[in-house]
Amino acid sequence: MAGHPRRTAFLGTLMMLAAFVTGLWVHELPTTALRVIAYVLLFLFAALGFVLSFRDYS
């Protein structure tokens, strides 16, 4: 994804932060089905960000 190892951790942190901030908007969606789909996608996005952030610490 990113060429430099330090940049990968930074991008992962930005992905998690974007998922958390977007979650504040998702709770205002009109239908429950849209909210569930959006929360599942946000969870996957945040999980990928977590893996990118902490992959070098194993």
pLDDT for residue 52 is more than 70: yes
Note the pLDDT tens digit of each residue in 11-43: 888 999 999 999 999 989 999 999 999 999 999
Return the pLDDT at 20. 93
DSSP category for residue 2: -
pLDDT for residue 58 is more than 70: no
What pTM was computed for the model?
0.78
Return the pLDDT at 46. 93
Return the pLDDT at 53. 85
